[in-house]
Amino acid sequence: MTDTTAARDRVMIFDTTLRDGEQSPGATMTLNEKLAIAQLLDEMGVDIIEAGFPIASDGDFEAVSQIARMAETSVICGLARAAKGDIDRAWAALEHAKKPRIHTFIGTSPLHREHQLQMDKDQVLRKIEETVSHARSLCENVQWSPMDATRTEADYLIETVKVAVERGATTINIPDTVGYTAPRESAQIIKDLLDNVPDLDKCIIATHCHNDLGMATANSLAAVEAGARQIECTINGLGERAGNTALEEVVMALKVRGDIMPFHTGVDTTKIMAASRMVATASGFVVQPNKAIVGKNAFAHESGIHQDGVLKNAETFEIMRPQDVGLSDNALPMGKHSGRAAFRAKLKDLGIEMGDNAFQEAFVRFKTLADTKKDVFDDDLIALIDDERTSTANDRIKLKFMRVIAGTEDPKSADVVLTIDGEDHAATAQGDGPVDAVYKAIDDLVDHEAVLKVYSVQAVTDGIDAQATVSIRLEEGGKIVQGQAADTDTIVSSARAYIIALNKLLVRREKTAASNSDISIAS
């Protein structure tokens, strides 16, 4: 930490990618994906990880409890509605964490009180007393949130926060649940609370902004300037509707503009790109090319004047260095003669860390790729590693073999062998084209009613030997899942993307079956 950093105020980063982010329709992640993301967040210095909503399903419970056991430094938080059963379940998932936190919430705005809760103001206040006290009887670290705070009457919001503080909440989070506020108002709400709630200065005040009007980052920073010291955010801004405040945006804004915003975070910014890629792959939400900080074009200079300036002095058109967010400054391609040491060094350069087994498997796939493709570029390696991460040992369905007949003559057909729950099953099918034939053969082997909603192919790099990333989205009974895979053979990536999505569908089905029927998850 530099002297200037030490003099600045510390802002806690609370990441809710695995809870609020995962609530985006179609962003369901597997247990292994959640563990990998949590491990990276822990390593990159995120202060608090909201790992899930334990009462929502057995899958969520399992994810929170495994993350709680695994995390080394981050506080691990679980969400609970204002109900004893929710809080007890959250605590059961969290109690083994080195640093556990229970986060409980209730709607406080007139719309939420009248229509969702059917409770009057007093009843809501009594519920807050009861539930915050109960949470505190289990855990010393309790966060309380008035859902839809920014549309709650100012004087009533003060009353609710007073009660939560009196009952022992240690963090008070002010959610802009529907992304309705604007920077000046966001700051004013925090100031009003600090001026009117005794002892609030002994708690951490948090801000949790949704991005419906594109102001989430600005609203979060305005809240910090007014006294909030925790920002709730997600990687890539993932989240329901227009998403949440993007972690990379607030962290980099505070780093780059420390001159006018004297605050700092504990996040190792060089891991931002790795986290962004991991979350994009696991959630299937591709990052838009012009997305601030993590978009493909965020550091690309196309126009002649810009390129000329950057070559002379990067600062002419760059306000931060690509390396500060973990972009490699060594884009030399690898090839079939590159050995293990070079491969390991390249992964390190790209901010990718993996255990020995995963490394050996990735190296074998790299060698196979290098046999097909002369130059293996950074983007090829990232696609390969992402792919390695999305298919896991726990997947119930695996692709063992496939062969297709395609061309100008009919029939187009596919032979497919899948290993399902450890047993091999074969099918042959015909279709309008090779992908259709493969999908029909898979459908003969896997019992599902999902409809293919999106199928898209993107070349990872330029050239005839480029890998193709196939992204697909399936919908079954209103539930959406996605799959993504890369290969130099587009039909193979199509099959693998489909199988990844079907594996997620199975997880999703288990989750739905286990979930409480009247549960309503907050955004």
Q: Distance between CA atoms of 1 and 142, rounded to whole angstroms?
A: 29
Q: Binds 147, which of ligand KIV, Zn ion, none (CB < 5 to 8 A, cut-off by type)?
A: ligand KIV
Identify the residue among 39, 145, 181, 283 touching ligand KIV (CB under 6 A): 145
* DSSP letter assigned to residue 314: G
State in angstroms the smallest separation of the CB of 195 from Zn ion: 26
With respect to ligand KIV, which residue has the nearer C-beta, 81 or 473? 81
**Interface mask (CB under 5 A) for Zn ion, residues 16-35, using x and -?**
----x---------------
**Distance between CA atoms of residues 57 and 406, nearest Å:** 43
Among 24, 74, 171, 177, binds ligand KIV (CB under 6 A): 177
Q: Answer yes or no whether residue 148 interacts with Zn ion by CB under 5 A.
A: no
CA pair distance 113, 122, nearest whole angstrom:
10
Strands 412-420, 204-209: parallel, antiparallel or unpaired by DSSP?
Answer: unpaired
Q: Which is nearer to ligand KIV, 52 or 175 (CB)?
A: 175
* CB-nearest residue to Zn ion: 20
Query: Which residues from 204-223 bind ligand KIV, rule CB under 6 A?
Result: 208, 210
Element (H, E) at 485: strand 479-487
* Segment contacting ligand KIV by CB under 6 A, of 154-162, 173-181, 305-313, 334-342: 173-181
Q: Which tokens belong to 493?
A: 């990536």
Question: Contact between 20 and ligand KIV (CB under 6 A)?
Answer: yes
Among ligand KIV, Zn ion, none, partner that 145 touches (CB below 5 to 8 angstroms by kind): ligand KIV
Q: How far apart are CB 283 and ligand KIV at their closest, in Å? A: 17
How many residues bind to ligand KIV according to rule CB under 6 A?
11
How many C-beta atoms surround the C-beta of residue 436 within 10 A? 16
List, in sequence order, every beta strand (DSSP E) within 94-185. Answer: 100-107, 142-147, 171-176
Three-class SS state of 27: coil
472 to 41, 234, 306, 447: CA distances (angstroms): 27, 23, 36, 18
Q: How far is 405 from 365, CA to CA, in rounded Å? A: 25
- Comparison of 244 and 281: residue with beta carbon closer to Zn ion: 244
Nearer to Zn ion, 81 or 264 (CB): 81
Q: Which is nearer to Zn ion, 208 or 440 (CB)?
A: 208
**Closer residue to Zn ion (CB): 86 or 387:** 86
CB of 79 to ligand KIV, least distance (A): 6
DSSP string, 239-303: -STT-B-BHHHHHHHHHHTTTTS-EE----GGGHHHHHHHHHHHH--PPPTT-TTTSTTTT---S
Per CB under 5 A, the list member of 219, 265, 493, 523 interacting with Zn ion is 523
Which of Zn ion, ligand KIV, none interacts with 68 (beta carbon under 5 to 8 A by kind)? none
3-class DSSP state of 370? helix
**Which of ligand KIV, Zn ion, none sits in contact with 105, Cβ below 5 to 8 A by type?**
ligand KIV
**Is 105 one of the binding residues for ligand KIV (CB under 6 A)?**
yes
- Residue 173's DSSP bridge partners are 206
Identity of the residue, 13 or 500, whose beta carbon is nearer to Zn ion in the bound complex: 13
What is the rounded CA–CA span in Å between residue 188 and residue 132? 25
Given the rule CB under 5 A, which residues bind Zn ion?
20, 523
